[in-house]
Chains A and B, each alone.
Chain A
Amino acid sequence: MNAENSCAIAIRHLTKTYGKNRGINDVTFEVTKGEIFGFLGPNGAGKSTTIRCLLGLIKPTGGSAEVLGADIVKEHREIMRYIGYIPSETMFYPTMKVSEVIRFAADVRGMDCSEEAAKLCERLKVDTTKKIDELSLGNRKKVGIVCAMQHKPELFIFDEPTSGLDPLIQAEFFELVKEYNQQGATCFLSSHVLSEVRKYCHRAAIIREGQLIACDTIENLAHTGAKFVRVEGVTQLEIEGMSKATQKDDGMEFVYSGDMNLLLKALSEKDVKDLSIEEPSLDDVFMQYYG
């Protein structure tokens, strides 16, 4: 693929509608080569629709996208040679054995991936002798991870990859992602688990109701200028810039994004027993976007 292009994924004004139903609308962002990029949003926000457009499973109704410098519509087959994909719900042919599915995925790619597949199966504790219809959701997901990683792709696209995996396998999965990333692979990871995005991703985009509402580094997303304020002794306060206010027994909590002098002036007129002003956690920021 295009080695000079620094973008692993470039999405420009991508739109997908299903009849009158919303899919995604005018989504634009880029994923740089070599980064682990988080794609956040609640269920139904448009994460999977965006990913399915990138993979050529559905045709966009507007805009364009390039993966590794190639057009997703015109050069779909070429692109897929360099991608490893894990869908949110991993399904395989139920009558096949795990080993047969893994070999089939490699054979279609015209590659001998037996060595890498054996390594992955050992690390993820995949029993290759079992039939697919004997596997639990988590074990099917592990087979999906092996199929997506065994050919050592340049770009990983994961749609909620850890759902169904136990914590130990989740940790092993992210260890593998970090190792491939250190070898130069890019990872595009959709999730609604904020902790894993905060822990493993360099940058993230947030999508809500089909529209991109933020795209930045994790640090910048967490530093939106808003502060998390907890005040004891005051149960009623209304000033400009307050949001998400909740009443507590002995005070109140709220997110404040206005002028700090105004807040301090308003509080100085009250009987404040205790006050804490903190950077909001990433979770609070996301809740602010989602809300």
Chain B
Amino acid sequence: MTLYKHELKLNRMSFVIWLVGVLAMSAGCIFLFPLIDESMADMSDAFASMGGFSAAFGMDKLPINTLEGFFGTEIGTIFALGSGMFASLIGISALSKEESSHTAEFLHTLTLSRCGIVTGKLLGILTLIVLFDAVALGVFVGSAAIIGESISIKCLLGYIASQFAAQTELASICLVMSAISKKSSFGLGIGTALVLYVLDIVARITEQADFLKYITPFSFSNATDVFVNKGSSIVCAYIVYNRRDIAA
């Protein structure tokens, strides 16, 4: 419990910066919607008939001139990428930052087992992701109310739930990398989120790359696959971290 609280404390600044950054962009887009919805009406049909490009961003399924359509295609992309990068960053730095900042000796010579350290860090990551999504939900609903538009709470909850699943999977993939690496690599965390996002777009554009949706957490065609991937990543993190030498 002490390590869990400690982890939340250490990540609070990063959490606030990413939360404000991502949600400011998302809310900004919602506030822009009343200014562009009329011009969007003319472009909606055009956007919906651009073949693979439309499919890549989901514009073939939702009309872009409604707030829900605009949210699903534009704001959803910003939030998915932003929150995904945040989840990757806190995952990739969770264990490796202790070695790269030379605090590992201090932490590991207290009365914590390595499993206890991974668990404390993991719970901290999950809490930050839940808080991130909870605040985002409030900001989305509030912003829509401010511009006088309604947005389906049920759809929004479904969207946030799928994002939570994607973020936790990204964080768990990055946690394994963090358990292996002795250096905290922010580039690797951001890169992982971006590469997996691009794989999702490729999977949506062409049927030949359909198998990619089973690799990237941004595609949630099969919830069971996602659950299995996440579980195995976390188990890997425990096994790897338990076995390897800790750098001074």
A interface residue numbers (CB < 8 A to B): 48, 52, 55-59, 76-77, 80-81, 83, 85, 87, 89-95, 104-105, 107-110, 144, 147
Contact = CB atoms under 8 A, between A and B. Distances in A.
A57 B105 contact: yes
Contact of B101 (A48, A85, A91, A109): A91
Given A57-B248, A80-B109, 6 more contacts: A57-B105, A87-B248, A93-B103, A94-B101, A107-B2, A147-B106
29 contacts: A48-B248, A52-B246, A55-B109, A56-B108, A58-B245, A58-B246, A59-B245, A77-B113, A77-B116, A80-B112, A85-B109, A87-B105, A87-B106, A87-B109, A87-B248, A89-B102, A90-B106, A91-B101, A91-B102, A91-B105, A91-B106, A92-B103, A92-B106, A93-B103, A94-B101, A95-B10, A104-B2, A105-B106, A108-B111
A55 B245 CA distance: 11
Nearest to B112: A108
5 shortest A-B CB distances, which residue pairs?
A: A91-B102, A58-B245, A108-B110, A85-B109, A107-B2
Contacts of A94: 101
> Which of B6, B103, B104, B106 lies at the interface centre, i.e. has the most chain A CB atoms within 10 A of its CB?
B106
B154 interface: no
B3 interface: yes
Contacts of A55: 108-109
In which size bucket is the chain B interface? Answer: 20 to 34
A163 to B, nearest CB: 14
Contacts of A108: 2-3, 110-112
Nearest to A100: B9
A59 B243 contact: yes
Contacts of A87: 105-106, 109, 248
A93 B10 contact: yes
Nearest to A148: B109
A94 B101 CA distance: 9
A57 B112 contact: no
Contacts of B243: 59
Contacts of B116: 77
Nearest to B113: A77
A90 B111 CA distance: 18
Contacts of B3: 108
B110 A105 contact: yes
B153 to A, nearest CB: 38
B102 to A, nearest CB: 4
A57 B2 contact: no
B94 to A, nearest CB: 14
B109 A57 contact: yes
B247 to A, nearest CB: 9
Interface in B74-109: 101-106, 108-109
Contact of A57 (B6, B10, B101, B108): B108
Contacts of A81: 111
Given A57-B105, A91-B101, A108-B3, A80 B110 contact: yes
A94 B106 CA distance: 13
Nearest to B5: A107
Contacts of B112: 77, 80, 108
A89 B111 contact: no
A57 B106 contact: no
A104 B102 CA distance: 17
Contacts of B109: 55, 57, 80, 83, 85, 87
A80 B10 CA distance: 24
B243 to A, nearest CB: 7
B103 A57 contact: no
A59 B248 CA distance: 13
A55 B112 CA distance: 12
B239 to A, nearest CB: 14
A89 B106 contact: no
Interface in B177-194: none
A80 B116 CA distance: 14
Contacts of A77: 111-113, 116
A55 B10 CA distance: 25
Interface in B1-53: 2-3, 6, 10, 13
Nearest to A18: B245
Contacts of A92: 103, 106
